[in-house]
Chain A
Amino acid sequence: MAVWLVRRLAASIAIVFAVVTITFFVVHLAHGSPCGPSEQRPLPADVCERQRIRFGYDRPLRVQYVKYLGALLRGDLGESLGLHRPVADALADAIPNTFTLALAALVIDFALGLALGIYQAVRERRFGDIALGNVALFVNSMPTFWLGLVLLLVFGQWLRWFPVAGMGDPVFCPQVDSPRCVADFFWHLMLPALTLGLVGAAGTARYHRAAMLEVIRQDYVRTARAKGLRERRVLLVHALRNALLPFITLFGLAFPFLLTGAVLVETVFAWPGMGRLAVSAIFQRDYPVVTGAALVTSVMVVLGNLIADVLYAIADPRIRVRDA
């Protein structure tokens, strides 16, 4: 187990390192030194001067690269061109917001997906199953941002159940520090999380339906049922335990999906997270922020996969033989 874990960890680090290297060279080769006069986006003189000192822009590319890696290890990602502040600061502000959103979406995704999956499995081939199955397939096929726009229009503008943008009421809750503000925060979180969660839940439900069906048909469930246990208990205890494994796979799959979806959903709902930061940085040709955001995103994806793999290994010892 320990050896496997070390190998797996080393592979993850190698991937992140490769992503950093590729983004560095792509951005620098396509873009050259940000201090040159002929650039699409020349740096302000002062920022340029500091970047020059930090990463040695007048030196050969490989020296810059080494300096960049050195700075990276110290947590220094350079200076943003448009935000007038260090990239690391801007990212540190945004990451927790994306994380909360992704987590909330994940909860909705899994909870709703599991509930629907179980329901459909129990009602197999009856009306409820087929209707829900088709609805889920349809929702799963929507462009995420479009679903967000529709929810925003219906629940934000027409019905006014939920706020249309932002993370909290600035008058009562400048900080999330009381039960009331926690509630306010969740209220603001609802629509974006629902947008991301619903699309995912539709996929998750199909997964769980299949898994549950397999389980329900297995002998020990029949046995349990025959022993006279109430149906709900049979399903919840026996079946659920076996259906839990795919959960972990789903987590590994859902995480990158949520991050990708977050790029657009954050833009729709003005959620000040990584996605919105990255999109506006890309539009502004703010390369240091783009590179920083690429790094952070890939770290999160790799980490998500790693966690899924480790959980898998713990849950099912047979997996360990898988190559790292």
Chain B
Amino acid sequence: MNVWNWLAVGGATVVALAVVAETRRRALSSTPGRRFFRHPTAAPGMFVLAFFVTIAVAAPAVAPFPPYYQIDIARPNQPPSARHPLGTDPLSRDVWSRLAYGARLSLGIGTLAMVVAVTVGAAVGAVAGYFRRWVDVALMRLVDVALAMPRIFLLLMAVALWEHLPLWVLVLLIGLTGWFGTSRLVRAEVLSLREREFVAAARALGAGPGRVIFRHVLPNAAAPIIVSAALGIGNVMLLEAGLSFLGLGVPSPAPSWGNMIADSMPKMAVAWWSATFPGLAISLVVMALNAVGDALRDALDPRREAA
């Protein structure tokens, strides 16, 4: 790792700090914003997320090596040093470089799958809650059935049935197995909202169901959706790591964090660093997402003051 890489990492830290400071400055003018930042872990959590996003974007600058590059295969498993701050893995690849490029994949997969999950979940929940009767019954029974099977099991079956699964299908599948909880939340919210005056007024003015749902109901049910989205990204990242551990996630040599753990696992006893750092990175990001999610929940839901 050379001077420029260190400078780039420093730059990323500064950018992340600036993002947090700027957000905070703007947020403090509103009540939910103040409530958000009153949460002790909200600002650190945001910083961690901002840092890793910056690293992901700036991977070519902060990483001294390309992520696939095998530096010297006859001398693998080098411990952390100035040249390799996080050591090298059993294939003699620089762990820090892979971690930086891996942030793109891991965060990307998490975000995309979450977008799919939340979109489907919100749509199903809204439809069920708005139309009630048999639509509601049918959809919610479907959710009951889906929840009766562990998610990882559903995914494993899908992956096993379909060989050479393209990455985007995997992401889609993770998303499509992750909306059940969200749909229940949104449904409950919609059920209570649809009885409120402004919804009744919109309907009286002749707005169709689509318009009512998207223009009037969903925006007011945004709080639980946003919170479950924040928590959802973390869950997807954990899931991706688990699938990669079983050899069914992102295919080699792509550097997802889960993949990095799986690749280094057989050598954990002699080279602890190459499986430990990606694991710590996952834990840290998921923790940050949980912290931000908690703070968001408190900020957006006035009924639940922080205990």
Contacts and interface: CB of A to CB of B under 8 A. Distances in A.
A/B contact in complex, CB under 8 angstroms: yes
Interface of A: 11, 14-16, 18-19, 22-23, 26-27, 30-31, 40, 130, 134, 137-138, 140-146, 149-150, 153, 157, 210, 213-214, 256, 259-260, 263-264, 267, 278-279, 282-283, 285, 290, 293-294, 297-298, 301-302
A264 B243 CA distance: 9
Interface of B: 40-41, 141, 144-145, 147-153, 156-157, 160-161, 163, 234, 238, 241-242, 245-246, 258, 261, 265, 268-269, 272, 275-276, 279, 282-284, 286-287, 289-291, 307
B150 A279 contact: no
Contacts of A285: 160
A302 B234 contact: no
Most buried by B among A15, A22, A145, A157: A145
Contacts of A18: 141, 145
Nearest to B44: A134
Contacts of A143: 238, 241-242, 245, 258, 261, 279, 282-283
Contact of B269 (A134, A157, A297): A157
Given A140-B290, A141-B234, A282-B160, A146 B41 contact: no
Given A19-B145, A278-B153, A149 B265 contact: yes
Contacts of A256: 147, 150
Across chains A and B, which 8 residue pairs bring their CB atoms closest together, nearest first?
A141-B286, A141-B287, A146-B279, A260-B150, A298-B148, A143-B241, A18-B145, A142-B283
Contact of B283 (A14, A19, A138): A138
B242 A294 contact: no
A267 B156 CA distance: 14
Contact of B150 (A27, A145, A210, A263): A263
Contacts of A264: 152, 242, 245-246
A66 B129 CA distance: 35
A26 B157 contact: yes
A260 B268 contact: no
Given A143-B282, A143-B283, A146-B261, A19 B149 contact: yes
5 contacts: A138-B287, A140-B287, A141-B290, A149-B268, A294-B153
Contacts of A259: 150
A137 B258 contact: no
A301 B160 contact: no
Nearest to B288: A141
A23 to B, nearest CB: 8
Nearest to A262: B150
Given A31-B161, A264-B242, A15 B145 contact: yes
A279 B241 CA distance: 15
B20 to A, nearest CB: 18
A51 to B, nearest CB: 19
A19 B242 contact: no
A297 B149 contact: yes
B52 to A, nearest CB: 14
Nearest to A22: B145
B290 A294 contact: no
A15 B144 contact: yes
